[in-house]
Chain A
Amino acid sequence: MFDTIILLLDATLRVATPLLLLALAGLFSERSGVVNIALEGKLLGSAFAAAATSYATGSVWMGLLAGMATGFALAMVHGFASITHRGDQIVSGTAINMLAAGLTVTLGRYWFEQGGQTPSLVGDQRFQAIDLPLAGMLQDVPLIGSLYSKLLSGHNLLVYLAFALVPVSWWILQRTRFGLRLRAVGENPHSVDTAGVSVTWLRYRALMIAGLLAGIAGAYLSTAHSAGFVPNMSAGKGFIALAALIFGKWRPVSVMFGCLLFGFLDALAVRLQGVEIPVIGEVPVQAIEVLPYVLTVLLLAGFIGKAIAPKAVGQPYVKSR
């Protein structure tokens, strides 16, 4: 039983990692006033770029770079449409999602001729698990030892990075000049403009950060979590991350808990497949797989209280008269 729980939590961390990276990407973007419905597309695009590059070069680091570059580039497209040209942020975001879904499969078929997949990645083409110091020695210590060695140790670098970014994000937002201005521009861009600070440049920088983070999430998905790219492997994670962002009320630490919760539900669904539950019997796979989504709807509908979005989110900035 104890081992089962450890395994479940272990899976939770792994599933929550891309959500967390994406949600932090969304956080930077939305706190600056730009709705980031394009997370899904950025994730998919960078997952493909990372896997393809990693396969071609044999280095997962090149893959990571390519993923980040792709996330960055897509974010700049988003910014060009919605900041520079004041287009509708939802429309440009949706366009990016569609672009990524189509382009990854098309390029994948053309380059690798495996129905849109990249070839399986092996060895240095993937991120490997890292054993934390003393993990081997401590694993026989009851409770704490197995928590440490089985739950906390043995993940790949990107998992640790994602969770380390939570306090870093908080610190940037709350303790730096950039963070103050970023929060202000998402609440009342006029106040920033009249204070002599460029609204455009601030929002671009927020989107750059968002693009890079989404790129890391993409690389994680295809080169760490899986061993290669599969068409549509993002599977709605970008939207779940947005849900976690709202769930966490646009605050880093709460957002992390949101991601962990959604990750847990996902991991639970996998665990419950084929398991006999007393009274009910074996639950059909489909019913379990739908669970995270149903709970998402329920949680968002009722349990988290009022989530107050940054006031200026979704509005292109226009100098009023």
Chain B
Amino acid sequence: MSDSRPNQALALELRGIDKRFGDVHANNNINLQVPKGTVHGIIGENGAGKSTLMNIIYGFYEADQGDILVGGQICHIPNSREAIAAGIGMVHQHFMLVDNFTVLENVVLGAEDGAMLNVSLRKARKELQRLAHEYQLDVPLDATIDELPVGLQQRVEILKALYRGAKVLILDEPTGVLTPQETDHLFRILHSLRDQGVTILLITHKLREILAITDNVSVMRQGQMVGHVKTSETSKEELAELMVGRKVRLKVEKQDATPGEVLLSTEKLTYTDSRGVDMLKAVDLEIRAGEVVGVAGVSGNGQSELMEVLAGILEPTKGEVKIGSNRITADTPSSAKLVREMKVGHVPEDRLSMGLVKNFSAEESAILGIQEQPRFNGQWLSKRKDITEYCQGLMEEWDVRPRNPKLRSSLFSGGNQQKLIIAREVDQDPDVLMIGQPTRGVDIGAIEYIHKRIIDMRDQGKGVLLVSVELDEILALSDRIIVMFDGQIVGEVAADKANERILGMMMANVIPDELKQADTAGEAL
């Protein structure tokens, strides 16, 4: 009986939420209680059903069954308008902002007072100044969105929700695009919101963040809630086990590196894109045999261009790349195919657009880039049977599931797609392997395996270039870490001297004091 009585202390309650998409049971009888004025974490692997659940709360989807209670009252939420009216706000993973509108216009959109804009804008400006002051949410109101860094864009999203009177704020993977400093600032904002009585639902797959900021955690796995715990009474290990359903080793086991000869190097490498912007500015870089070189940086600071120039996809504007005895310059450009023949493997950052072809079968994606090799290619026709067998072999070795070479590439999970791509590249036995965002959108179980294989490559005397926006990953795998900012290398740190704070500062183009003394001899301005 007590179960059905309205509970005023709960900001949000879910009872038996159920949602299917065709055969997929995205949410299976979900129950959740979120007390008022707390930060509640929802954690789970990709595809566990977190986003679906949040979209149901925000009225983007309607649940097949179950009730949503806001402040103890059952709410029918068929669309976002009703969710907003019930006091629910959401900051989506991909921001819902109009790029060429000002901050003010974005906030007002959909929450205007009356048909004339001037009145709404004037009122919003006043209200936003108050909110900004109250919650450390300073944003230039008249700047257009495309002028703002992502950290500020996110604040606009939060302001949007608050302006609409949100009492429950949902944040979906909010830190994916932020630097560590921006993340810290976000957490401070969230704390002050909580202290003012706002309830926060934080969706993430990052265990560290859950531990850092939440009061309670709910864990989802395969569409079900598998546990509710108090943050103060749990640990990374326990949460990871709940998420994956088995024990997970979070630390990467590795010995010290024994770097050998230089396999790949660049000298004053410069790349100017079609808009005339220098995306790489005189980059000098070395990759030796038997080491992992990590490249850290906020995305968009030249890492992608660096990978693509090294992979032969983009042509350098100035400077040169040396791979073994080969040289690539503006006058003697290369191609992805030639670079591959120089025994350099490339796992692109953007898996879905460069790593594989979504509408190809797994076996077709498994031979992308090597499809011309005689073992796959007869005189007139491709050797379908051999291709299938090859793909089957890779799938066995790398535990790609489902083990069906004929299945469309897009139907595999992110982790399995990534395993297949890395398998393809590793199987070519390259001397240098370049990997971009190896575990973006990959679940914890697969991360563990991919990390182990990267270290295996290194231990076999290969050189590895690792580009990642995940600092944890960079720190766990690299032997040396290079930080990029605005197309330049800000500096280099040995892995055992690096930590998140140091890298975070360098990512914002600040050289930490402890590096300054050591560097004065080598670094020229």
Tell me, rounded to whole Å, the shortest Cβ–Cβ distance linking A103 to chain B.
38
Say whether A184 contacts B99, CB under 8 Å: no
A85 at the interface (CB under 8 A from B): no
Which residues of chain B in 95-120 are interfacial with respect to chain A, using CB atoms and an 8 Å cutoff? 96-101, 105-106, 108-112, 114-118, 120
Number of interface residues of B (CB under 8 A): 34
A191 to B97, alpha carbons, bound, how many Å?
5
Chain B residue with Cβ nearest A178: B115
Beta-carbon nearest neighbor of A319 in chain B: B60
Instruction: Tell whether, in the assembled complex, residue B105 and residue A180 are in contact, meaning their CB atoms are under 8 Å apart.
Output: yes
Distance between A179 CB and nearest chain B CB, rounded to angstroms: 7
Known: A187-B101, A188-B96, A195-B111. A175 touches B51 (CB 8 A): no
Q: Please tell me if the beta carbons of B118 and A180 are within 8 angstroms of each other in the complex.
A: no
Q: Is A282 an interface residue (CB 8 A)?
A: no
Interface pair B60/A196, CB less than 8 Å apart? no
Q: Judging by beta carbons under 8 Å apart, are B116 and A176 in contact? A: yes
Which residue on B lies nearest to A188, using beta carbons?
A: B98
Candidates B90, B96, B99, B117; contact of A177 at CB < 8 Å: B117
**Binary interface profile of A, 178-203, with partner B (CB < 8 Å = 1, else 0)?**
11110110011011111111000000
Q: How close is A157's CB to chain B, nearest CB, in angstroms? A: 28
Residues 98-136 of chain A, each 1 if its beta carbon lies under 8 Å from chain B, else 0: 000000000000000000000000000000000000000
Q: Find residues 107-165 in chain B having any chain A CB closer than 8 Å to their own CB.
A: 108-112, 114-118, 120, 160
A196→B101 contact, CB < 8 A: no
Q: Does A205 contact B (CB under 8 A)?
A: no
Q: Which of A174, A196, A321 contacts B110 (CB 8 A)?
A: A196
Q: Mark A227-264, 1 if CB is under 8 A from B, else 0.
A: 00000000000000000000000000000000000000
1/0 contact string of B53-96 vs chain A (CB within 8 Å) = 00100101000000000000000000111111000001010101
For the complex formed, measure the closest distance between the CB of A54 and the CB atoms of chain B, giving whole angstroms. Answer: 35
Provide the residues of chain B in CB contact with A187, threshold 8 Å: 98-101
Chain B nearest Cβ from A175, distance in angstroms: 5
Q: Which residues of B contact A197 (CB under 8 A)?
A: 81, 109-110
Select A180's contact among B81, B109, B160, beta carbons within 8 Å: B109
Closest to B61 in A: A319
In the complex, the answer to whether B115 meets A196 with C-beta atoms within 8 Å is no
Q: List B contacts of A188 (CB < 8 A).
A: 96-99
Docked complex Cα distance between A187 and B101 (Å): 9
CB atoms of A177 and B80 under 8 A apart: no
Q: Which residues of A contact B160 (CB under 8 A)?
A: 195
CB-CB under 8 A for A191 and B106, given A196-B80, A319-B60: yes
Task: Find chain A residues with CB under 8 A from B96 CB.
Answer: 188, 190-191, 194-195
| Chain A positions 162-181 with a Cβ under 8 Å from a chain B Cβ | 174-181
Given A177-B116, A177-B117, 15 extra CB contacts under 8 A: A175-B116, A176-B115, A176-B116, A183-B101, A187-B101, A188-B99, A193-B80, A194-B90, A194-B96, A195-B80, A195-B109, A195-B111, A196-B80, A196-B82, A311-B99
Which 7 A-B pairs give the minimum distances between C-beta atoms? A195-B110, A196-B81, A191-B96, A177-B112, A196-B80, A194-B96, A187-B98
What would be 16 A-B contacts, judged by CB atoms less than 8 Å apart? A175-B117, A179-B117, A180-B108, A181-B109, A187-B99, A187-B101, A188-B96, A192-B110, A194-B80, A194-B92, A195-B109, A195-B110, A195-B160, A196-B82, A311-B99, A319-B60
